[in-house]
Amino acid sequence: MMAGIQRSTSRKVNAYVKATLALEAVRRKREERYARHVRPLDRKRDLLIAEVDRRLRALVGRQLAEARRILESVRANGSISDRTQ
């Protein structure tokens, strides 16, 4: 016979144990969802940051100034709003 957690004779204790186990299940589901969705986005963001940094280091003079201006507008607005050519 398997040894398990003994049930208490108190309904309050049993309700507390049930609620605690339910909270653990919710936490575990949230962690799994985070691992599936948020972490891959973090990895993509980190790769993009590294790529932008590498490309910025390759620029010189006017190109660097233009790239910095575009990056500042992206950071401020979340997108390139006033792109001029």
Among 71, 72, 33, 34, CA closest to 55: 71
The full set of domain ranges for the chain reads 11-77
pLDDT tens by residue, 15-74? 888 899 999 999 999 999 888 888 888 888 888 888 888 888 888 888 888 888 888 887
| CA dihedral for 22, 24, 26, 29, sign (positive or negative) | negative
Tell me, yes or no, if the pTM score tops 0.85.
Answer: no
pLDDT for residue 56? 81
Q: Which residue has the higher pLDDT, 79 or 61?
A: 61
